[in-house]
Amino acid sequence: MRWIIIVAAACLLVGLALFLFRRPPAKEPDLSPLATSLRERMDTLLNAPSLSSSTIEISVLKSQLNAEIDRVKILAVKLGGSAVTKEPVVGPVTELIAEIPEEKQKIFKDAVQDGLKDVPDTGPTVSSKKLVVTVQIKTQS
């Protein structure tokens, strides 16, 4: 019986010591700076276009649709980018997806919205950051 009391007292003392000298729970490390750094590095290495897309809507007659698609594609190329038609064309709206240099976004928007405006061929750009712009062409009968 004496051994039982000694073992119980020892267990009680060990439990009390563990309770008194316990460490507070460790905080989770903040990994957001690491995630931001990795994301920026991946964007730099992959040279991926920015996905902050903007949309331009224009209306043309059905007979002028192909000419307008060609005009938008030529504008994108002149500004140092490219444009493709989104397939399949469903209904009265045709979508083009253009990838242009970020600093030439305003020039592109103005030229697309003003059907008579043309831009000079600017050639290659110094900026490697591209922007995706969606052009929606609505056809009228």
- Could you read off the pLDDT of 37-61 as tens digits, one per residue? 988 888 777 765 555 568 899 999 9
- 5 to each of 15, 16, 18, how far by Cα in Å? 15, 16, 20
Sketch the domain layout of the chain as residue ranges.
48-140
Residues in the chain with pLDDT values less than 70: 47-53, 88-89, 118, 120-128
Q: Report the C-alpha dihedral over residues 120, 123, 124, 129, rounded to 10 degrees.
A: 30
